[in-house]
Structure 1
Amino acid sequence: MRKSYLDYAMSVIVARSVPDIRDGLKPVHRRILYSMNESNYVFNKPYRKSARIVGDVMGKYHPHGDAAIYDAMVRMAQDFSMRLELIDGQGNFGSMDGDPPAAMRYTEARLAKIANYLVDDLDKETVDFNANYDETAFEPVVLPAKYPNILINGAVGIAVGMATSIPPHNLREVIDATIALIENNNLSVSDLNKIIKGPDFPTGGIILNKEGIKSTYETGRGSCTIRSKTSFEDINKDKKAIIIHEIPFQVNKSRLLEKIAETVNNKIIEGVSDIRDESDRKGVRIVIELKRDVEHEIILNKLFKFTPLQSTFSSNILALNDGKPEQLNLKQILNAFIVFRKKIITKRTIFNLNQSRKKAHVLIGFVISNLNLDKILNLIRKSKNTSEAKKALMNEKWRLGEDIIELVKLIENNEENLVSSKYSLSEEQSKAILELRLHRLTSLEREEIKTDLNKVIKEINNYLEILNSDEILFKKMKEEMNIIKEEFSTERKSIILENQPDENYDEIKYIQKEDIVITLSHRGYIKRVPLKNYKSQKRGGKGRTGMATRDNDFVSQIFVVSTHTKLLIFSSFGKVYSLNSYDIPEGSLQSRGKPIINILPIKNDEIVSAVVPLPINEEEWNKLYIMFATSFGMIRKNKLIDVAKSGQQSLRESGKTAIKLNKDDKLIGVNLCRDVEDTFLSTTDGKCLRFPIAKIRLHQGLMSKGVKGIKLKDKNKVISMCTLIHSKIDISIRKEFLKYSSGMRKDNKTNGENSDFIELRKQEEFIFSITSKGIGKRSSAYEYRIANRGGYGITGIIKTNKSGDVINSFPVENDDEIILVTNGGKIIRIPVKDVRIAGRSTKGVSIFKIPDTEEIVSVTKVKLLDYE
């Protein structure tokens, strides 16, 4: 079994999948080219049916399926597969869209002109021949290629236990590098890389990653990134289109379009309004129309990132060298070709030398016959027949002059016919003399014979010079390659970028930095509006929330950030999503926005619990913590960077678990915080607990449930979490200040405060609390003493049967507004300054009168923003 498997593996490697380093061909391609040349289906002859070509190859040399032979033949005729097509096809030979070629009975083909330089000199004993599979014909082991086809057209193949992937190159560069190496074999791979800049793909494109090219040429392994060649066109005043002119090598154009459409439909790329394929025989032209006012550079770079518009070509230069698979660097490939060409030229020269000597040998006989014409005619007349005449000529010794003797020594392989300046005619010479027509005996014809002889002598001297001098041989080699270069070289199709683009592409560089207002509605509609569209709130002005309310919808969150701000979106299921603020659709002041489920992969039953804007300067992330709170009273403290930097791609594409929740538990709040602040938790029964963030244990992972923040009685739940300034004031001073400030508010006086109270008043925060029946108040944050986590808390507002459950508590400022919404669809907006300030352990007052059958279900704090 082991031996059989090894035999099979070597058969696949040598006879099927790996190209020969000398001609760059696999056996099937070599057999196709040889068969077409043998049948004279060459470039200057009429096209022949592909079915006939395939039949010849299969019947004589390649005993495999006709489909495989036709596929191999088709590839050699495709200008998007081959840098220089070896077959000139007529008919449908497939397309970049992956369309199959027409059946072989319809298409026609012949050898391309460049292929002539692969099969040329086959008839001059330059390569070895083996018997075909049934020993009825012979086929060449290798073609006597005159140029390094293995580099120019490349090769791809999968064998057993190994694979090859050789990129195509520019003919001019390859020949120039080969000639340079002939002239100086001490050139390094780096020196050759200066001549061969890199691969040159038939489909063009832009090549990135020069280090990958360098690795490929030095080790035989490496990769390069191919980017489509694109441009921008203006469709109208504020709309652009991305035009794709060239696509990466081996990328199926039809599938590329499908992938682009898929990324657009799946909201991975937004801002595309239409995709059209306008490609024709002149080349590729894909038009991607963009929506109004989108950043075209961002869309293009997302296309490079998420579609095959940018792809990687991995190189593995594996080829058969002396019949063995070897991984080779650039210099080894070129050296192997130079050695091969030297052998071919040597064999061809020997063949030509022998042919010239044979011709000169006969011409020497003619010269001797002219010098001894009467004697020869006399011998012929005396002979009874041709055979006797031939023997008479051969037996005669012919005296030669010194000039003829020197020619004989040059021409003859041995000097047996020349003894003591006398020459014996050979059988070939005697036969040629007897077959000589009488008109060749005229004086003009005798001169022509001498001219022919001198010409042949010159050829012989030329061949001997080549064989005796490597310098002349290499000169001949360079001349032949230069002829090919002059006739077939073209400009590079693939551009190699000297200045590599930043691989860590940051699309934010293309976003104009400006302040924006982001609003999120209760029903999950989100939008952004430039802050410049608002004006500062005038004292006593009515103000606006920045979104029109409709269908019982209202603004649930509103905040001002920059277009460079990154947002973390947390859902009630404990998941976190990442969103760039500039990816939020821009809207007008009165527009509703776009459903957030169309921007992020949020489920229909998921509710956005918190939107956390992150500092633009990512260095600040290391200094911040993030606090989670759940409805069951669990809290958890993490470093912000552990959440914001955790699997950034999955944060954007599918979200990630931020906190593990118990059954029926929900995430109700997420805050950025520092150790110098306090966390404030509130519950449905009016309890609240304030404790220092510095005393909370720091968690490392995101899959834990955290620790108990506040104990709950019965079926109570935590309804809010907020962050307060940490207070270090003495209890007695705090009590005195609260008593004093309460009295001052009643009398509406601020004069006469001592310096300590003035400072406390500047730092004073107020907690707004509201119940489901519209009972609410403001209380000084100083009234909520600092305790340890895990307790039951203290009363924040007295709950009664009439007041209903507490639904929210959070810090407010005097210029804020509160929006209250009932389950019956009623909405009211109340300025915070109109809400009464009362003590912590009080019931509060009626803020919103609602029917007995309704309850408040949502409370939102907004800033006062007005129209420009």
Structure 2
Amino acid sequence: MEKNTLENNKSFKPIFVQDEMSSSYLSYAMSVIVSRALPDVRDGLKPVHRRIIYAMYKGGYDWSKPFRKSARIVGDVIGKYHPHGDQSVYDALVRLVQDFSMSVPLISGQGNFGSIDGDPPAAMRYTETKLGRISKFLTEDLEKNTVNFRSNYDETEKEPEVLPSQYPNILVNGAGGIAVGMATSIPPHNLGEIVDATIAFINNKEITISQLMKHVPGPDFPTGGIIIGKDIIKQGYNKGRGSFKIRGEIELEEKKGGRETLVIKSIPYQVNKSLLIEKIAQLVRDKKIDGIRDLRDESNREGIRVVIELRKSVEPETVRRQLFKLTNIESSFGFNTLAIVNSKPKILNLKEFISEFLKFREETVIKRIKFDLKKAETRAHILIGLATAVENIDETIKIIKNSKDTNIAKKNLLSKKWKIKKSIKMISLIEKKKNISIYQLSVDQVEAILELRLQKLTAFGINEIESEISSLAKSIIEFNKIINSKKALYNLIIDELANIKDKFASPRKTKIIDAVLNYNIEETIQKESVVINITNQGYIKRGPLSSLKSQKRGGKGKSGISTREDDFVVQIFTANTHTPVLFFSTQGLVYKIKAHKIPEGTASSKGKSIFNILPLKSHHSISSIMPLPEDESEWKKLMVIFATSKGNVRKNTLEDFININNSGKIAMKLDQDDKIIGVKICNDDQDILLSTQFGKCIRFKSKKLRLFKGRSSKGIKGLKLNDKDKVISLSILDNSQIDNKVINKDKKIKHAVNRYILSVSENGYGKRSSYLDYRVTNRGGKGIIGIINSPRNGNIASTIVVNDTDEILLSTDKGSIMRCAVKEIRIAGRNTQGVRIKKLSGTEKVVSVIKIEDNIK
């Protein structure tokens, strides 16, 4: 029954739910956009900010008056104009006070209004506020019908739709807000620059954005900082969208004793300083930023000062780049210049912002001038009536005296035609009537005469009337000139803007530079000497070379890596964190990474599996690691020598290995039972030395080894091996410039050359011999004895080239590392066993000996 009644009732209209939801949500969205989240292009204020300033204006909380409790102001705002939560209104008020949020604060505060460290403001019952001095130029002329008013939420009060701002506040203080489906992000600017750009636009309406940018080079944030990239700013000013980088200023200061410190002098806009410092401290604890020994905040009311003390021998520029890369001391600011224009959201470019403001300013000034003109004309009209009455004072008094009441007196005065002589000049100034001798009063003039005070009848009073009429006449002429002349109107606007600039402009705080931001990750890595080792089972790590101290010959060494029982260190080398490193696998593939990408480990950690760093197959292992020059353009000038365990050698240019992709590249083709044992950089002025595990050596000239093209060859025979022997070391020797005859006459000269071949056995014994003892032969021979592999010595672990000033690192299969000076090792002939270099325990064996190249620059 009820259903039929509803269906037959024509007053009901069916509505689809989706249509109702869409319509309602759209209405809600537009309400948020227009009435809450976005600023008006004319005064640059959101409704809540406008209502706060208007409530303070109406309450008389002017800059020249005493401070008032913030709670009182918040109460006025929510009671009369903004029916929302008191905390949201107070938060909006607080922002208008903060000099680190506003380029020119609109409200002056007394008390705690928060800090750049993110500290919250005190409760509104404790803080006090009043309008800032510049707010006068937002609210002035409100009573002169310059803007439209509307009813408040309960229609008991009137509020302005917009404030008659005298300067482009939307650009000066910027704005940010999130609406429904859209957001705005307008950066603050320098007041003086914006005024200059506005005046330039007034003088030339065809001015381009590039020309405007000569006055406004970019945003000017209250917290300073450095904006990176002028072209990005120009894009934002042209399109209204974009994003640029802003950095805090980090300056280098040198303290006594040569110790260097980095000092943060400013931070990016809206970055929390306290959280920034915590982030830096966390990065230091996590060892993601190296070289910082102390961090403290010395900021005060004079400005930001965060001191970062650096360790000695640390590159300050690298630490600076690490801070930029890993913290929000370098952050992005997005342009999204959305504002309300004619009650609709619109994205504006720089010129449109100024154009819209000027259009609004023209309207408000004309309205103000018309208001002032009408007021002046009304006052002048009254004064003419008073002057006429004073000139005919006797007759005026007689008419009033003989009238029964005020109405009859008013009627008689209106009907009277007054003879004038002195007032003719005043009437001609105001009403532009000439040669008149009779004047008839208006109702307003008669009412003013009836209220005339007797003191006006004195000679001084009459002169005062004449003087005021003369002044009003000049004002009326000027007002009409402004109303009828665009030039005069613009001159007035320019004068008002110049006045604001003189009173409130301040020097620019934010610097603008052009800089390359796409720097390589290596630029954020501290350059330092590191030692890198790899185990037989493929575990690799790096650590600071400074952690290893030199020891006397015969020492026990220091634990350098923790290995499993069936694992041992097979190779150690030194480099710096920026060194490109080539990894050669046992199967002849080559991989390339930078040293800093090798995981850092503690002194006793085993490191990370090489399979987590390089795309090795499960049956592959790394046989040789080759650090290279950082400048890859130099690689073309270098040659590289390959040596295999079967005694083969090959020479290539290093240029063949510049472009190596992530999956690696074939370095050398090998027989199934062969492997690469060494890869070295070499030139034609040097010799090649191959050494075997049985103590045999062969030395031949590099220039006699032909240069191979490509990477697919197996190479040629370098050393003919005995059964079960294999090549273990590849060394590069400089040619001797000493005649062999001189050497034979004076054996001591061998040691004067100061270059040696150091051979170390797996049992920890070794010696160094003059490299002149190793004669040059042709490649492919059986070689000569380099060191005796007796039962005491065991097989040879490594043979390398050293001099007196070098230091070496010995590594054992149990993970022990020893750093030793070469000069501590005895000099002996080739056909000797040598002396103990490292004391081993149990079945421990030496597996690797390398020379320390601690010459990082």
CA deviation profile, 1:620-665 (whole Å, cap 9, x unmatched): x8xxx945325xxx44235x4xx459xx889899999443345687
Tell me if 1:636 matches 2:592. Answer: no
Tell me if 1:860 matches 2:849. Answer: yes
Q: Contact 2:68/2:129 (CA < 8 Å) preserved in 1?
A: yes
Q: Secondary structure at the match of 1:194?
A: coil
1:306 deviates by: 2.7
Change (3 A) 1:823 1:114: closer
Tell me if 1:475 matches 2:530. Answer: no
Tell me if 1:670 matches 2:625. Answer: yes
2:614 to 644, 652, 659: 659
Q: Which residue of 2 aligns with 1:62?
A: 82
Change (3 A) 1:627 1:784: farther
Q: Which runs of 5+ in 1 are unaligned?
A: 525-568, 599-604, 683-687, 739-749, 752-765, 786-798, 838-843
* TM-score after normalising by structure 1: 0.71
Aligned positions of 1:747-786 closer than 5 A = none
Tell me if 1:427 matches 2:427. Answer: no
Cα distance in 2 for partners of 1:732, 1:301 equals 50
Cα distance in 2 for partners of 1:320, 1:14 equals 7
Cα distance in 1 for partners of 2:303, 2:836 equals 71
Cα distance in 2 for partners of 1:849, 1:86 equals 77
1:181 deviates by: 1.8
Tell me if 1:202 matches 2:222. Answer: yes
Change (3 A) 1:97 1:626: closer
Change (3 A) 1:121 1:834: same
Q: Which residue of 1 aligns with 2:52?
A: 32
1:426 deviates by: 2.6
Q: Secondary structure at the match of 1:36?
A: helix
1:32 deviates by: 0.5
Cα distance in 1 for partners of 2:716, 2:112 equals 92
Tell me if 1:459 matches 2:475. Answer: yes
Cα distance in 1 for partners of 2:611, 2:400 equals 108
* TM-score after normalising by structure 2: 0.72
Higher alpha-carbon deviation: 93-102 or 267-276: 267-276
Change (3 A) 1:820 1:467: closer
Aligned positions of 1:707-726 closer than 5 A = none
Q: Secondary structure at the match of 1:175?
A: helix
Q: Contact 1:61/1:133 (CA < 8 Å) preserved in 2?
A: yes
Q: Which residue of 2 aligns with 1:535?
A: none
Q: Contact 1:201/1:249 (CA < 8 Å) preserved in 2?
A: yes
Q: Contact 2:387/2:423 (CA < 8 Å) preserved in 1?
A: no
Q: Secondary structure at the match of 1:156?
A: strand
Q: Which residue of 1 aligns with 2:159?
A: 139
Q: Which residue of 1 aligns with 2:459?
A: 443
CA RMSD of aligned residues (A): 5.3
Q: Contact 1:405/1:421 (CA < 8 Å) preserved in 2?
A: no
Q: Contact 1:576/1:656 (CA < 8 Å) preserved in 2?
A: no
Change (3 A) 1:143 1:411: farther
1:722 deviates by: 5.6
Cα distance in 2 for partners of 1:596, 1:426 equals 110
CA deviation profile, 1:73-122 (whole Å, cap 9, x unmatched): 10110111111111000000000100000011111100011111101100
1:387 deviates by: 1.6
Q: Which residue of 2 aligns with 1:170?
A: 190
Q: Which residue of 1 aligns with 2:332?
A: 312
Q: Contact 1:577/1:656 (CA < 8 Å) preserved in 2?
A: no
Q: Which residue of 2 aligns with 1:231?
A: 251
Q: Contact 2:81/2:152 (CA < 8 Å) preserved in 1?
A: yes
Q: Which residue of 2 aligns with 1:790?
A: none
Q: Contact 1:660/1:705 (CA < 8 Å) preserved in 2?
A: no
Aligned positions of 1:434-833 closer than 5 A = 434-497=450-513, 500-501=514-515, 503=517, 520=531, 585=546, 589=550, 611=573, 626=582, 628-629=584-585, 634-638=587-591, 640=592, 643-644=593-594, 657-661=612-616, 667-671=622-626, 688=646, 690=648, 701-703=661-663, 812=800, 821=812
1:461 deviates by: 1.6
Q: Secondary structure at the match of 1:304?
A: helix
Q: Contact 1:767/1:781 (CA < 8 Å) preserved in 2?
A: no
Higher alpha-carbon deviation: 252-261 or 666-675: 666-675
CA deviation profile, 1:30-69 (whole Å, cap 9, x unmatched): 1100110000011011111111111111111111111111
Q: Secondary structure at the match of 1:207?
A: strand
1:445 deviates by: 2.1
Q: Which residue of 1 aligns with 2:210?
A: 190
Give the residue type in structure 1 aligned to 2:584. Answer: F
Q: Which residue of 2 aligns with 1:21?
A: 41
Cα distance in 1 for partners of 2:212, 2:812 equals 75
Cα distance in 2 for partners of 1:731, 1:364 equals 121
Q: Which residue of 1 aligns with 2:287?
A: 267
Higher alpha-carbon deviation: 198-207 or 338-347: 198-207
Cα distance in 1 for partners of 2:426, 2:840 equals 132
Q: Secondary structure at the match of 2:214?
A: helix
Q: Which residue of 2 aligns with 1:6?
A: 26
Give the residue type in structure 1 aligned to 2:198. Answer: T
Cα distance in 1 for partners of 2:85, 2:105 equals 23
Give the residue type in structure 2 aligned to 1:670. Answer: I
Cα distance in 2 for partners of 1:387, 1:606 equals 122
Q: Contact 2:190/2:219 (CA < 8 Å) preserved in 1?
A: yes
Q: Which residue of 2 aligns with 1:161?
A: 181
Q: Percent identity?
A: 39
Higher alpha-carbon deviation: 699-708 or 227-236: 699-708
Q: Secondary structure at the match of 2:388?
A: helix
Change (3 A) 1:588 1:370: same
1:176 deviates by: 1.7
Q: Contact 1:239/1:293 (CA < 8 Å) preserved in 2?
A: no
Q: Secondary structure at the match of 1:222?
A: strand
Cα distance in 2 for partners of 1:826, 1:644 equals 24
Cα distance in 2 for partners of 1:852, 1:585 equals 26
Q: Which residue of 2 aligns with 1:548?
A: none
Cα distance in 2 for partners of 1:462, 1:734 equals 107
CA deviation profile, 1:181-230 (whole Å, cap 9, x unmatched): 21222322222211223222111223332222222223223344333334
Q: Secondary structure at the match of 1:139?
A: strand
Cα distance in 1 for partners of 2:134, 2:419 equals 52
Cα distance in 1 for partners of 2:716, 2:117 equals 79
Q: Which runs of 5+ in 2 are unaligned?
A: 1-20, 602-607, 629-634, 681-689, 691-701, 708-714, 724-739, 742-756, 768-773, 783-788
1:732 deviates by: 12
Change (3 A) 1:571 1:119: farther
Give the residue type in structure 1 aligned to 2:589. Answer: R
Cα distance in 2 for partners of 1:849, 1:121 equals 93
Change (3 A) 1:590 1:719: same
Cα distance in 2 for partners of 1:250, 1:571 equals 49
Q: Secondary structure at the match of 2:90?
A: helix
Higher alpha-carbon deviation: 170-179 or 725-734: 725-734
Cα distance in 2 for partners of 1:606, 1:52 equals 78
Q: Secondary structure at the match of 2:319?
A: helix
Tell me if 1:103 matches 2:123. Answer: yes
Give the residue type in structure 2 aligned to 1:43. Answer: W
Change (3 A) 1:221 1:649: farther
Higher alpha-carbon deviation: 92-101 or 465-474: 465-474
Q: Secondary structure at the match of 1:237?
A: helix
